[in-house]
Structure 1
Amino acid sequence: MPDVIFPLDSTRKFEDQEKVGHNRWHPEIPPVATVRPGDSFRVHCREWFDGAIVNDDSADDILNAPLLTVHKLSGPFAVEGAKPGDLLVVDILDVGPIPQEDSGPLAGQGWGYTGIFSRNNGGGFLTDQFPDAYKAIWDFTGQVATSRHVPEVSYVGLIHPGLMGTAPSAGLLAKWNKREGDLIATDPHRVPPLALPPEAEHAVLGSLAASDFDRVAAEAARTAPPRENGGNQDIKNLSKGSRIFYPVFVDGANLSLGDLHFSQGDGEITFCGAIEMGGFIDLRVDVIKGGMDTYGVSENAIFMPGIVDPRYSEWIAFSGTSVTLDGKQHYLDSHLSYQRACLHAIAYLTKFGYSPEQAYLLLGSAPIEGRLSGVVDIPNSCSTVYLPTAIFDFDIRPSAAGPYRVDPGMGAPRSSNA
């Protein structure tokens, strides 16, 4: 096993650990450790809410999820010799739930969770149709997840970090804050908001000196969206065996990561759409000097996907076009067409006895494939959702006999305050 350079004690909160990570992006957050090109090492990761979501049959914790506290990231890790303009090469050697802990109160200790977030606290891809908070708990048996809240399905996990990236430079950080602030200003009272501005409350900034804390906390970017440094990309295929090439913007690159997922569908559509968990990840790093200019990777990360995809060979697919539910035509809107494809899949699954919320939770956490199938034929973009048939305990295909009826059991818990 590689050396653990960022250990986490499951009995202690994230901020009370021997080494403290962070939950904002800023170039002045000090590295917690330094590694050399060619080094392999292990990092422990806490699930993004640090234990605020619990293994029970209530969704009140999702309703009241402390969004200002996320994401709880391990790092930053400086890489010796990395300079702005280089490419940081990161290999994912292994990734999994909390090691040697198959039961306990933290997500990753034999279980994980998926949430539909309240429209007033996070929202989600289909928040207009699903405005209330719901939750599903998933139990892990080896590489397979099952749920008492979404019966008669099981997924082979495609474990991956939802978030990994390098630190921004001061100039890049200012660019983020300017452009996102300009967007917010176009509709400042929107719910959910158009973007998340810097927020000093609940900022965790590692070992930053107290004299700099207030200034940095007021400048630091939230970790919610993906940006030029990688960040919260939520790419389900960024799994074991992946190689990622990150732009370097500061000396040492200052790599950080977290938000591990046991499984996820393309889009993580419920916002907390993956099966969230804590765990470990083994990495190896290297540096390509001057790689940003050499390969034109100036404002994006590129990656080679992992080698451990679940082996699903049969799918049922649903398509959607860029027309709203009330019939309004939009021009080549792929975001809208993917929403419609997801809604068609949800409507289909309800014919088998699932509630719409159970179907939505399933689509967020199962290894669905989301695709842009047509983006040129005006006025309609076409997006598709591919659902693997083998995850169900019954035949999901249309037939003359009609749909099988699932016993939905207790269903997905809904917040009592919804």
Structure 2
Amino acid sequence: MPSSFHVHDHNVHLKWDNAIPPVLTVDSGSEVSFDLLDGGHNQFTPASTSADVPNFNLALGDPAMGPVYINGAEAGDVLKVEFLALQTAAYGWTAILPGSFGFGILADEFPEPALKIWDLESHAAEGYAVFKEGIHIPLRPFLGVVGLAHEAAGQFSTIPPYETGGNIDCKHITVGSTLYLPVKVKGALFSCGDGHAAQGDGEVCGTAIETPMKATVRLSVEKGKPWVKSPHYVTDPLHSQTVGGQRGEYAALGIDADMREATRKAVRGLVEWLVGEKSLTREEAYMLASVAGDLKLAEVVDMPHYAVACSLPLSVFVGEQYQ
């Protein structure tokens, strides 16, 4: 059985920096649990109101817990991250952060602060939270921040997504899903955080249902997958009931400051996976992506980068040679 390890929420960092010493060293295949602060560094509590929003300190936003050093991981490898358990706190929050915060795709049209505190406990067994009377939101917990250290020296903000992961805010990577991240430094240096109870694609107002979370993942090093140049993921069977047919979907995330270029990177990533994993020609892969693939705006508010997913339902592969 794989070893189990734990990272506490005081093992927190606010920048990606490959000089940060690891808080744990584990072997490939180990399960690691995390106590995670929410995406606002737990600045809001169940007693908070809209009056507290102007005091929000953005410099504490999107904290990451870690890093974890994985033995055997080298630059050019891929870190496989399997999501085994994600447990929200009893509460969550969603905020409109106006003015100088600049969060939200319509930030200029919503100048007043707003805060909603969610009860994530009363209807957890039924799988939803109440937005207001008559509106129920399905609970689909996931982590907004999941990433590895950068190759370049220095500090990088945890707020935007990167090709090494980070604040990708992709709602499709839930329990049962698998994320693949390109390793840039020895040991990979994995960190995560920013628990979400639910989110729409794009996270358009700048926040999801933000919540502290307990997470358990399995971290495994994989070799020989050069097509993983950005985050790639496979969704879980439960997710596949509504997306991707009965077998889920495979997707590549394109990360860039230009949305068109992010989209091009996402499509290119899916094409390269189809060539490398399914042995299609580039022309076949490009056409298959066009007739069966989907584009999703996973993240559009964490400037300066956009995250666009290009996904393909795995149900299209019916031949034994593609299993």
Q: What is the TM-score of this pair, normalised by structure 2?
A: 0.70
Change (3 A) 1:145 1:85: same
8 Å CA contact 1:123–1:131 kept in 2: the answer is no
* Cα displacement (A) at 1:120: 1.5
Distance across 2 between alignment mates of 1:63 and 1:94: 34
* Cα displacement (A) at 1:146: 1.5
Name the aligned partner's letter for residue 213 of structure 2: G
Change (3 A) 1:370 1:248: closer
* Cα displacement (A) at 1:370: 8.8
Q: Does 1:302 align with 2:232?
A: yes
Q: Does 1:223 align with 2:158?
A: yes
Q: 1:128 is paired with a residue of what secondary structure?
A: helix
1:257 alignment partner in structure 2: 192
Q: Which of the numbers 69, 75, 85 marks the counterpart of 2:76? A: 85
2:6 alignment partner in structure 1: 5
2:128 alignment partner in structure 1: 144
Distance across 2 between alignment mates of 1:311 and 1:111: 27
Which ranges of structure 1 fall in alignment gaps of 5 or more residues?
Answer: 9-16, 98-107, 174-218, 314-332, 335-368, 373-418
* Cα displacement (A) at 1:256: 0.4
Output one character per residue of 1:288-340: Cα deviation in whole Å (capped at 9) or x when no partner: 1243x3xx223x11111233339779xxxxxxxxxxxxxxxxxxx88xxxxxx
Number of corresponding residues: 245
8 Å CA contact 1:92–1:241 kept in 2: the answer is yes
Q: Does 1:270 align with 2:205?
A: yes
Q: 1:92 is paired with a residue of what secondary structure?
A: strand
Q: Does 1:36 align with 2:27?
A: yes
More strand by share: 2
Structural RMSD (CA): 2.5
What is the aligned-residue identity percentage? 30
Q: 2:15 is paired with a residue of what secondary structure?
A: coil
Q: Does 1:232 align with 2:233?
A: no
Q: 1:16-415 counterparts in 2 under 5 A?
A: 17=10, 20-56=11-47, 58-97=49-88, 108=89, 110-140=90-120, 141-142=123-124, 143-147=127-131, 150-170=132-152, 219-272=154-207, 274-291=208-225, 293=226, 296-298=227-229, 300-309=230-239
8 Å CA contact 2:99–2:111 kept in 1: the answer is yes
Change (3 A) 1:2 1:94: farther
Q: 1:62 is paired with a residue of what secondary structure?
A: helix
Name the aligned partner's letter for residue 129 of structure 2: A
Distance across 2 between alignment mates of 1:7 and 1:231: 19
Q: 2:72 is paired with a residue of what secondary structure?
A: coil
Distance across 2 between alignment mates of 1:280 and 1:301: 22
Change (3 A) 1:144 1:35: same
Q: 2:52 is paired with a residue of what secondary structure?
A: helix
Q: 1:282 is paired with a residue of what secondary structure?
A: strand
Larger Rg: 1
Output one character per residue of 1:75-99: Cα deviation in whole Å (capped at 9) or x when no partner: 10110010000011110011112xx
Name the aligned partner's letter for residue 148 of structure 2: T
* Cα displacement (A) at 1:38: 1.4
Q: 1:297 is paired with a residue of what secondary structure?
A: coil
Change (3 A) 1:221 1:85: same
Name the aligned partner's letter for residue 203 of structure 2: E
Distance across 1 between alignment mates of 2:48 and 2:17: 38
Name the aligned partner's letter for residue 3 of structure 1: S
Which ranges of structure 2 fall in alignment gaps of 5 or more residues?
Answer: 244-258, 261-293, 298-323
Change (3 A) 1:70 1:96: same
Change (3 A) 1:371 1:89: closer
1:342 alignment partner in structure 2: none
Change (3 A) 1:277 1:57: closer
Name the aligned partner's letter for residue 7 of structure 1: H
Work out which structure has the larger RCO, using CA pairs closer than 8 Å and 6 or more positions apart in sequence.
Answer: 1
8 Å CA contact 1:239–1:308 kept in 2: the answer is no
Change (3 A) 1:46 1:371: closer
Name the aligned partner's letter for residue 183 of structure 2: V
Change (3 A) 1:42 1:131: same
Distance across 2 between alignment mates of 1:4 and 1:60: 40
Q: What is the TM-score of this pair, normalised by structure 1?
A: 0.55
